[in-house]
Amino acid sequence: MQRDHRANEFSEQEKLFVSLADGMNNTMLQLALLSEQAGTVPPKSQNVLWQTVHDVSRASLQLLEGYTLTMRLQGGTAEPELEAVAVTSLLYDTLHLLEPYAKQLQVSLVLDVPAKLQPVITDRAILQSALLSLGHVFITAHSESDATNKTVKIGAHMSGHGIVAGWYGQSIQLTTQALRRARRLGGWAQQPYGELVSGPATGVFIADSLLSTVSTRLHVARYHNASGLAVTLPACRQLQLV
Amino acid sequence: MSAVAAGIIMHVLLIEPDVLLAKTYMAALRKQGHRISHSVTAQQAIAAADARQPDVVVLTFAIARHNGVEFLYEFKSYTEWRDVPVVLLVSQLNHDMAQRESLRHELGVREVLIVSQLTLKKLCDAVANVGRPAL
């Protein structure tokens, strides 16, 4: 019997894998061409190119790690471990890890958190991996923008439903409808989230998949006049009383 | 042989949203002696072509909020750019579409390069093959 390969026959895991492979294609092309270029310049100029190779590889490894983690969680070979997590320090670490990649793409990263923020109840590794994957997409998206100010914010704030943590940028306008469409098209269309980025937007889907393992999802959010994607997490009330 | 040595220095309009890829393309093409305008969006590319007539367009298929073919239809609707040859960079998925005769005849796509097989040398050779000398 012949199988009809329509998008709606892909499982969520297959769609995520196709999206990841699409994204990795681009990374591999970057690495191949940077290596070719390094072979044509004098040794002194090669250092800059090898640093780019290093930073691009690291960023892709972060994305691959996020993918592996979500597959393990979805497959039941890993379990979320809920604990009180200090959001500010987690966001700071995330920003620090993405800074070399952002620098290569000439995008500035800013941390925007209030002075006092309650801890949240979640799995630290899952939240960090989700924010790293999402940050990857926001950095790429802003590097593609024709805006002169290419600054991306990682931020958190209190809301009526908990602590909202995510990535924001002023040069993009995201809508819930576009996010819903992106979720349908991810891993199938070549540009599933054209409102945000020209590529496969893999980091968005990895983040979404990771967050679903701790019973939450990405949503469109606004913070300090910037539009972005964020997750709302329950604040840790016990530590709040201490 | 470089473009300078061959006497065919061109103004290349490069439309590539990926900043890292664009940097490598530009470095290789500049080494050949060509002048490059780089745009990340279709809108920027129209403005860049308006500011300076390109001799060749190098276009990647997936650009933000558009695809390369949509951009080409708009670009080629202007009479002054109708004859500018195009080098199109596509994935294997888009290769069949990019081989259509209409793209060659109506949109001036002279070379289609598959990105998984792309090298900087192939890109420079394609630009040299399709380009016309600057006036």
Nearest-neighbour CA in chain B from A148: distance (Å): 12
3-class secondary structure, B78:
coil
Q: Name which residue leads in pLDDT, B135 or A42.
A: A42
Nearest-neighbour CA in chain A from B120: distance (Å): 7
Residues of A with Cβ-Cβ distance to B120 under 8 angstroms: 33, 36-37, 40
Residue A1 lies in a domain: no
Q: Over its length of 135 residues, how does chain B's per-residue pLDDT go in tens digits?
A: 566 556 688 999 999 999 999 999 999 999 999 999 999 988 899 999 999 999 999 999 877 667 788 889 999 999 999 999 999 998 877 777 767 777 778 888 999 999 999 999 999 999 999 975 544
Residue A3 lies in a domain: no
Per the structure, the complete domain to which residue A106 belongs is given by 8-241
CA–CA separation, A34 and B111 (whole Å): 23
SS3 content of chain A, % helix, strand, coil (to 5): 55, 15, 30
pTM of the shown model = 0.90
pLDDT above 50: residue A24: yes
Q: How many beta carbons lie within 10 A of that of residue B43, not counting itself?
A: 15
Q: Is A34 on the interface with B (CB under 8 A)?
A: yes
- Mean pLDDT, rounded, for A181-190: 90
Q: Say what the pLDDT of residue A179 is.
A: 96
Residue A230 lies in a domain: yes
Is the Cβ pair B20, A199 closer than 8 Å? Answer: no
Q: Say what the pLDDT of residue A164 is.
A: 97
CA–CA separation, A68 and A125 (whole Å): 12
- Mean pLDDT, rounded, for A175-195: 92
Backbone angles phi, psi at B109, to 5 degrees: -75, 110
CA–CA separation, A175 and A182 (whole Å): 11
Q: Is B117 on the interface with A (CB under 8 A)?
A: no
Tell me which residue of A19, A5, A56 sits closest to A209, measured CA to CA. Answer: A19
Q: CB-side exposure of B107: number of CA atoms within 13 Å? A: 24
Q: For chain A, what is the domain count?
A: 1
Residues of A with Cβ-Cβ distance to B65 under 8 angstroms: 194-195, 198
Q: Say what the pLDDT of residue B3 is.
A: 60
Q: Say what the pLDDT of residue B132 is.
A: 56
pLDDT above 80: residue A134: yes
pLDDT above 50: residue A242: no
ipTM, interface predicted TM-score of the complex: 0.88
CATH code: domain B3-130 is 3.40.50.2300
Give the DSSP H/E element, type plus range, for residue A151.
strand A151-159
3-class secondary structure, A53:
helix
Q: Is B53 on the interface with A (CB under 8 A)?
A: no
Residues of A with Cβ-Cβ distance to B63 under 8 angstroms: 198
On whether the CB atoms of residues B68 and B91 are closer than 8 A, the answer is no
Look over chain A and give the mean of its residue pLDDT values, rounded to a whole number. 92
CATH number at residue A87: 3.30.565.10
Provide the pLDDT confidence category of residue A240 given band limits of 50, 70 and 90. Answer: low
Strand partners, B43: none
Residues of B with Cβ-Cβ distance to A55 under 8 angstroms: none
Domain extent listing, chain B: 3-130
Per-residue pLDDT of A97-131, as tens digits, reads 999 999 999 999 999 999 889 999 999 999 999 99
Q: In chain B, whose CA is at the least distance from the CA of A201?
A: B64
From the DSSP assignment, how many helices (H) and strands (E) are in chain A?
A: 7, 7
Q: Say what the pLDDT of residue A65 is.
A: 97
Q: Say what the pLDDT of residue B100 is.
A: 74
